[in-house]
């Protein structure tokens, strides 16, 4: 069955976000938050599965990714602002509580929402990025994660990072995806990130990170975490410690042989996990 899909502009304070709303009009709402350096499009295949299960999807291009939500300066991308964006969108849509899904940086925002605003979430499904305290432990104590995180230094260096990612037709940008995401999709991500100020805004998420990310408290929302064994950026140590920071019902799903780009590479697996989590609430 084909469902209507519309992309609308939703103002939150001084910013305006592009939000794609699709699926059965009376379906249970699910908000999906994308990661770096993707866009709302990363969830397209997952969303199609969710629509077939009777769920309605709300997928924003987040701060820095929506052209009219691209403020200047690193401080504008602190985690508190990213949390407030999601809460503001829920308010604007008059949604009291939501099933939340996040991948990569979208999952990081989700972990903070689940820990700080559990009353707004019915369930949480995190893809790739573990609880920040689990990642923080691994970044300090696990040599494997330290090696996987070396790209952080580049991303946090203004100008050098932008030049490195976009030079030679974006070859370094494309290499991050390998052959796990269709080239035409990567082309669209690259085109969006090549618009003036877009890549700097996206990289400011990394530059606004502080050490207290690892101090995030436990999550009391029913949670599923998916980690893939061939994730080039996030290792096993953080994945296995993730459940230590969830006091509610928790599932760890390990996807053998898949890369970091699970929403694009294994949308059926991701959708099934989301549906199972929602079905148990």
How does pLDDT run across 164-193, given as a tens digit for each residue? 999 999 999 999 999 999 999 999 999 999
> Is the predicted pLDDT of residue 4 greater than 90, yes or no?
no
Question: Considering the entire predicted model, what is its pTM?
Answer: 0.98
Helices 198-207 and 183-193 sit at what angle, rounded to 10 degrees? Answer: 90
* Domain range annotation of the chain: 5-279
- Dihedral sign of CA atoms 84, 209, 201, 230 in order: negative
CB 213 within 8 Å of CB 132: yes
How does pLDDT run across 82-93, given as a tens digit for each residue? 999 999 999 999
Reduced to 3 states (helix: H, G, I; strand: E, B; else coil), residue 55 is strand
5-279 folds as: Rossmann fold (3.40.50)
By annotation, the residues acting in catalysis are 104, 206, 260
């Amino acid at each position: 069955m084909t469902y209507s899909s519309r992309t609308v502009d939703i103002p939150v304070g001084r910013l305006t976000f592009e939000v794609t709303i699709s699926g059965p009009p009376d379906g249970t709402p699910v908000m999906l938050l994308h990661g770096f350096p993707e866009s709302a499009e990363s969830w397209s295949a997952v969303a199609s599965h969710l629509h077939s299960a009777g769920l309605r999807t709300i997928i924003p291009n987040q701060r820095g990714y929506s052209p009219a939500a691209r403020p200047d300066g690193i401080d504008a991308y602190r985690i508190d602002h990213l949390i407030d964006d999601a809460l503001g969108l829920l308010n604007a849509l008059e949604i009291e509580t939501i099933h939340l899904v996040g991948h990569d940086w979208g999952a990081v925002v989700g972990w903070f929402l689940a820990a700080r605003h559990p009353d707004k979430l019915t369930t949480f499904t995190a893809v790739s990025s573990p609880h920040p305290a689990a990642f923080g432990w691994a970044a300090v104590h696990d040599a494997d994660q330290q090696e996987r995180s070396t790209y952080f230094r580049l991303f946090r260096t203004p100008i050098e990072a932008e030049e490195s990612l976009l030079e030679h037709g974006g070859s370094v940008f494309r290499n991050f995806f390998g052959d796990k995401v269709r080239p035409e999709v990567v082309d669209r991500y690259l085109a969006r990130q090549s618009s003036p100020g877009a890549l700097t805004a996206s990289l400011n998420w990394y530059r606004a990170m502080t050490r207290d990310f690892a101090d995030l408290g436990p999550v009391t929302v029913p949670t599923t975490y998916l980690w893939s064994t061939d994730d080039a950026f996030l290792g096993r140590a953080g994945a296995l410690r993730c459940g230590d920071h969830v006091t509610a019902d928790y599932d760890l799903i390990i996807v053998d042989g898949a890369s970091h780009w699970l929403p694009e590479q294994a949308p059926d697996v991701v959708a099934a996990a989301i549906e199972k989590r929602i079905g148990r609430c």
